[in-house]
Amino acid sequence: MSDNEYLSVSALTAYLKRKFDQDPYLGRVYLTGELSNFRLRPGHQYFSLKDDHAKISAVVFKAAFAKLKFTPEEGMKVMVCGRVTMYPASGQYQIVIERMEPDGVGAFYQAYEQLKAKLEKEGLFQKNQRPLPQFPRRVAVITSPSGAVIHDIMTTVARRYPILQLTLFPAQVQGDTAADSLVMQIQRVTAMGNFDALIIGRGGGSIEDLWPFNEERVARALAETPMPVVSSVGHETDTTIVDFVADHRAATPTAAAELVTPITLVDALNGIAQYRSRLGVAMQTRLAGLQERVARVGHSVVLTQPGRLYEQQSQTVDRLKMRLQQAMQTQVQTLEHRLSLCAAGLTPRRLQLRLVASQQAVSSAHQRLLHATTTTIAQRRQRFAAAAEGLDHLSPLKILGRGYTYVTDDAGKMLKREADYHSGHEAIVHTMDGTVPVRILERKQENG
């Protein structure tokens, strides 16, 4: 066999790919299986579909994945629709998925449950629990301008609270662009901010019809509104993500209008009349009580006999005046007695006696001082003589007088050891009555 009869791998792979692409049965294939090796990627999604006996590679391109109403998860059983082809680089065949939904559960319902669990975990459902005002002035309404919702709300408000101002923010409530329309109108209401409440709603329908109210961006925009939100989406049995995010949920548009008008105008006016009547009665009662107090005060002793107010005070003043006079007299008598005693002590005779006594005391003190001085000097002299005698016993001259001498060098340093003497040097021998210069001829150390 010649070399021309051999195919390259690329040629064979290209041939097989054309077979896959041109096969009419592989152009649209419906499969069911379990997601395997799924990991959420920012762009295209690559994973496998498998059952108990086989596995096939799968890819969902970014544009198709963005249209899914739910988030695929590992191990989830799904139903897919796509085309089977071959990827030349690896030589593996794969299915390019165009649509996918959970097997056994609708895609919309699966996406609804996933978003509900996510927002509930974030605490978005408990973020706003604001009460509605009792007497609202302006209320915003986001709904279709041609639906029955706005008509029911206007009719109910006109009947219950006609002075309430309703402002309609028309929005699409169904279709692919409805979510963007709702978000835009919610942002307009938030930017204006001068509303007492917001009603958002539409009539009933299938889950597909109500889906714009299950979009995450709509829920997050609604959670940021500064005023309380009333949701009225679908029938009483329908529940959307918006219902969980809103502060209040109404089963019908009429119920929503009743929530934002908790009291009718007639009831409010009747209440005002009742309060006015109660206020009048209370004022009359209060006025009668004050008048009675004025009359009672007018007949009191304070106003009829004002002199009695200071009678007791006058008596108190008189009593204090008498006590003051008595205290002053007692003080004067005491001072006069002390003065007489001092005057008696200043007579010439008494002064002469005190002078003589003082002179005798000075003379006695002088004698005691002289005696003490003489005694102290004698004691100090004895102590000094004893100290001098002891010092004399310790004097080096005493020792020299007994025949001892000591030797120093020229500098006056005492030579105590044999090592301090150096042959040929001069030294000075100190005796009791003088010094003798000597020259050292040699030194000799005694053996110990």
Strand, coil or helix: 78: strand
pLDDT in the model for residue 165: 93
Distance of alpha carbon 28 from alpha carbon 83, whole angstroms: 5
CA proximity to 248, closest of 136, 167, 359, 146: 136
pLDDT in the model for residue 106: 58
Q: Say whether both 69 and 190 belong to one domain.
A: no
Q: Say whether both 66 and 127 belong to one domain.
A: no
Q: Which two tokens stand for residue 229?
A: 């939100």
Q: Which two tokens stand for residue 198?
A: 């917001």
Q: What's 165's domain CATH number?
A: 3.40.50.10550
Q: Say whether both 22 and 66 belong to one domain.
A: yes
Cα torsion 67, 70, 71, 77: sign: negative
Task: Report if residue 377 sits inside a domain.
Answer: no
Q: Say whether both 250 and 166 belong to one domain.
A: yes
* DSSP 8-state secondary structure symbol assigned to residue 177: T
CA proximity to 95, closest of 141, 157, 49, 146: 49
Task: Report if residue 13 sits inside a domain.
Answer: yes
Q: Which two tokens stand for residue 170?
A: 């028309």
Q: Say whether both 99 and 152 belong to one domain.
A: no
Look up residue 119 and give its amino acid: L
Last residue of a domain, one of 239, 260, 281: 260
pLDDT in tens, 143-176: 999 888 999 999 999 998 888 999 999 999 988 8
Task: Report if residue 309 sits inside a domain.
Answer: no
Tally of domains in the chain: 3
Last residue of a domain, one of 105, 138, 164: 105
Task: Report if residue 342 sits inside a domain.
Answer: no
Look up residue 228 and give its amino acid: P
Look up residue 282 and give its amino acid: A
Task: Report if residue 173 sits inside a domain.
Answer: yes
Q: Say whether both 87 and 195 belong to one domain.
A: no
Strand, coil or helix: 415: coil
Q: Say whether both 125 and 72 belong to one domain.
A: no
Distance of alpha carbon 114 from alpha carbon 245, whole angstroms: 15
pLDDT in the model for residue 35: 87
Q: What's 90's domain CATH number?
A: 2.40.50.140
64 Cβ contact partners less than 8 Å away, ≥ 6 residues apart:
97, 98, 99
Q: Say whether both 154 and 213 belong to one domain.
A: yes
The neighbour count for residue 207, using CB atoms within 10 Å, is 17
Q: Say whether both 189 and 214 belong to one domain.
A: yes
Task: Report if residue 320 sits inside a domain.
Answer: no
DSSP symbols for 330-353:
HHHHHHHHHHHHHHHTTSHHHHHH
Task: Report if residue 206 sits inside a domain.
Answer: yes
CA proximity to 135, closest of 160, 164, 171: 164
Look up residue 211 and give its amino acid: W
Domain that holds residue 243: 121-260
Provide φ and ψ at 80, rounded to 5°. -125, 160
pLDDT in the model for residue 386: 87
**Cα-to-chain-centroid distance, residue 159:** 50
Last residue of a domain, one of 205, 228, 260: 260
* pLDDT < 70 stretches in the chain: 1-4, 104-107, 268, 301-302, 308-309, 396-397, 399, 401, 446-448
Radius of gyration of the chain (CA): 63
Distance of alpha carbon 279 from alpha carbon 258, whole angstroms: 29
Distance of alpha carbon 223 from alpha carbon 229, whole angstroms: 9
Is the Cβ–Cβ distance between 141 and 241 less than 8 Å? Answer: no
DSSP symbols for 184-227:
HHHHHHHHH---SEEEEEE----TTTTGGGG-HHHHHHHHT-SS
Is the Cβ–Cβ distance between 209 and 174 less than 8 Å? Answer: yes
Is the Cβ–Cβ distance between 240 and 204 less than 8 Å? Answer: no
Q: Say whether both 248 and 161 belong to one domain.
A: yes
Q: Say whether both 202 and 230 belong to one domain.
A: yes
Q: Say whether both 74 and 125 belong to one domain.
A: no
CA proximity to 218, closest of 67, 62, 112: 112
Task: Report if residue 337 sits inside a domain.
Answer: no
Is the Cβ–Cβ distance between 243 and 118 less than 8 Å? Answer: no
Q: Which two tokens stand for residue 172?
A: 């699409």
